[in-house]
Amino acid sequence: MLRQYTVAAVQFSPKLKEKANNIKKLYQMARNAAEQGAKLIVLPEMATTGYCFLDRQEIQEYVEQVPGRTTDVFGEIAREYGCYLVVGIAEVDPVTDNYYNTAVLIGPCGPIGKYRKTHLYVSDTVWAKEGDLGYPVFDTEIGKIGCLICMDCYYFEPARMLALQGVEIICNLTNWNGEKCPAPSWHTRAWENVVYVVSTNRCDCERGVLFSGGSGVIAPDGSNISYLDSVDGIAYAQVDLDLTKPKKLVSGIDWMQERRPCLYKNLNLNIYLNNPFSVHRLYNMKSLPEGKASQIGVFQFYPEPFAIEKNLVEIESAAKMAQQNDLDLLVLPEFAVSGRVSSPDEAKWTADLIPSEVLIDKIANLAEKYGVYLVLGAVEEDDDKLYNAVFLINGDGSAVRYRKAHLNGVDKLWATPGDQGFQWVDLPLGRIGLLSGDDCVFPESTMCLAVCGVDIIAVPAAMHEPKPTALKSTGAPLSSAVTFVDDDSVHWHLWRTRAVETNTVIAFANQIDSGGMGWSGIFGPTDWPRQEKVMNCEEGIISYPVDTSSKNGIYPDKPVRVKENVRMRVPSHYDSLVVQKKR
């Protein structure tokens, strides 16, 4: 098996309905890549036909079977050069006459297999049926290869299911538009699964749709290896598949081993097919709060270890600022009162010095004094066990607690993982979910809360990774009114991706210290246009407006309540996400 080799991501802008000419140009580009030694060559989504068709009737003369004429053409290159190609086509099933948006993997001996797009974009829905082949992984002499198509990569589930089958390279064929690329979602899928992502796009305008370019290869650590901005061409990169084998992140989290499928069971529910108000008001139980316009904030600072009184002074100062800025909710970092703990003795000392009932009382006094709900992370002891917990505390002394389910390497030295599931609470400003920073490494956590109807996810954190990554300005024909097209120091921020894929507002309050990381932020439920406030490494508070109200109370009209992305998931495919792995 070949473990190190060159991959080629082809960026190509086809002409709508000019199939023969498109294939001719793609053939030459693919041959050029093969001559340069590329062993895996990936072409864009529907690159042979163009993309923006109006209906089945308009596309019917351009669909084809697999195998067919197009796979024969590109099979010549695979056979001659001993390489592999992934080609995006419009496919027709000869038995059912259904049309599919399809990716075909072709090897030296011909077609190996195909994938049919499951998460359809609006342009697909007018002619294509949702894919029915699941998420196959093809075991080849150049590694384990999986395919996704464009909108599939917007959701965590498809890439996760490929990764659970051992995929090493995900070929992501796209017609990505409206957002500067390489898209944050592409970075996230590579990083959270520790795999290579090869994304191929176009960069032009077709029927008024502006495509974003940015084709290239993203490494298992989430970094760009190589990409093209706004021209047709080929981005080459060297891959080393052995880098996909260890699934452990810098924090010590091995995502494959540390998943908690027993907590993920509602990932397979499709609640948002229906009116969310009807579902959440079913039998007059668990009704969503009426909601309102409010202001929430995060406080980023360095909680000094063992300096409890000093940290409490800092927290009171932040609560006072929250009052001055009319904040309803303020999220503080993990270990906000005690500072970080890194051993059983330190955790036990902290729990003894400020037991949870004492902590709740102290923070409740501040919440009452300054008229704000306070969320923070702390060490909790219960029944001789220590937990890394998150508390939401009200001025009346009431508190909701969540015990961190996904522990990092240091947590494991002293903490017991929580087993009570993901927690949320209803407040006048909305339904508030609680997580800790490391939980968000696992997209299952945020999506489970979203399915429960959470509007806001409060995330106290003490994270050192993943650091946001920058991206230079783009020459792609994008609207600056919608897309951040200039140089951007926080192009990819994990918690932005989590907010957008779940249509929630995420308030991420991180620590700052000598090791990093800062970059706290509040991220809105949609990204076109981007809606957020982000800090760097300075101490202070940022605030953000949230509106969870509804004009008529019959159907939600705010993104956090409509949850369009959650509705477009395809849970019928997601069974493998909730299967408990045998140890």
Q: Per-10-residue mean pLDDT for the chain, 583 residues long?
A: 96 98 98 98 98 98 98 98 98 98 98 98 97 98 98 98 98 96 98 97 97 98 97 98 88 88 95 92 87 97 96 98 98 97 96 96 98 98 97 96 96 96 97 97 98 98 95 93 90 97 98 88 91 94 96 92 96 94 60
Q: Is 380 a catalytic residue?
A: no
The alpha helices in 82-181, defined as continuous H runs, are: 122-125, 156-164
Told to judge if 117 belongs to the known catalytic residues of this protein, a careful annotator would answer: yes
Please, are residues 501 and 154 in contact by the beta-carbon 8 Å criterion?
yes
**Distance from the Cα of residue 432 to its chain's centroid:** 20
- Please state, in angstroms and rounded to a whole number, the distance separating the CA atoms of residues 326 and 332: 17
4-246 and 293-551 share one CATH topology?
Answer: yes
Pairing outcome for strands 169-173 and 196-200:
parallel
Q: What is the pLDDT of residue 251?
A: 76
* pLDDT at residue 372, rounded to an integer: 98
Q: pLDDT value at position 131?
A: 98
pLDDT score recorded for residue 482: 79
- Strands of the 505-510 sheet, one edge to the other: 423-427, 430-434, 456-461, 505-510, 521-527, 530-534
Closest residue by Cα to residue 297 from 538, 530, 537, 521: 521
Interatomic CA distance for residues 355 and 404, integer angstroms: 17
State the greatest distance between any 2 C-alpha atoms of the chain, in Å, as a whole number: 76
Please report, for the chain, the start and end positions of each structural domain, with discontinuous segments joined by +. 4-246, 293-551
Which is the catalytic residue, given 19, 39, 114, 117? 117
Distance CA 290, CA 237 (A): 52
Whole-number pLDDT of residue 513: 86
**Topology at the third CATH level for domain 293-551:** Nitrilase/N-carbamoyl-D-aminoacid amidohydrolase (3.60.110)
> What distance in Å separates the CA atoms of residue 272 and residue 452, rounded to the nearest whole number?
10
368: Cβ contacts below 8 Å, ≥ 6 apart: 395, 396
State the pLDDT at residue 481.
Answer: 81
**Residue 521 has what pLDDT?**
98
Q: Which tokens is 44 given?
A: 């864009």
Q: Tell me which architecture the domain covering 4-246 has in CATH.
A: 4-Layer Sandwich (3.60)
HSE-up of 3 (CA within 13 Å, CB side)?
6
Per DSSP, 211 falls in state: B
From 19, 39, 45, 157, the catalytic residue? 45
- Say if CB 79 and CB 51 are below 8 A apart: no
Residue 192, classed as helix, strand or coil, is helix
pLDDT at 281: 87
Does the pTM of the predicted model rise above 0.95?
Answer: yes
Number of residues written out for the chain: 583
Q: Which residue has the tokens 């070949």?
A: 2
| Alpha-carbon distances, residue 59 vs 16, 71, 87, 216, 559 (angstroms) | 10, 19, 18, 28, 33
Catalytic annotation present for 52: no
- Which residue has 């993104």 as its token pair? 559
Among the listed residues 64, 114, 144, 150, the single catalytic one is 150
pLDDT at residue number 424: 97
298 close to 330: Cβ distance less than 8 angstroms: yes
Q: What is the pLDDT of residue 582?
A: 59
* Residue 112, helix vs strand vs coil: strand
**What are the Cα distances from residue 273, in Å, to 17, 212, 278, 555, 556?**
34, 30, 11, 13, 13
Rounded Cα distance, 489 and 230, in Å: 20
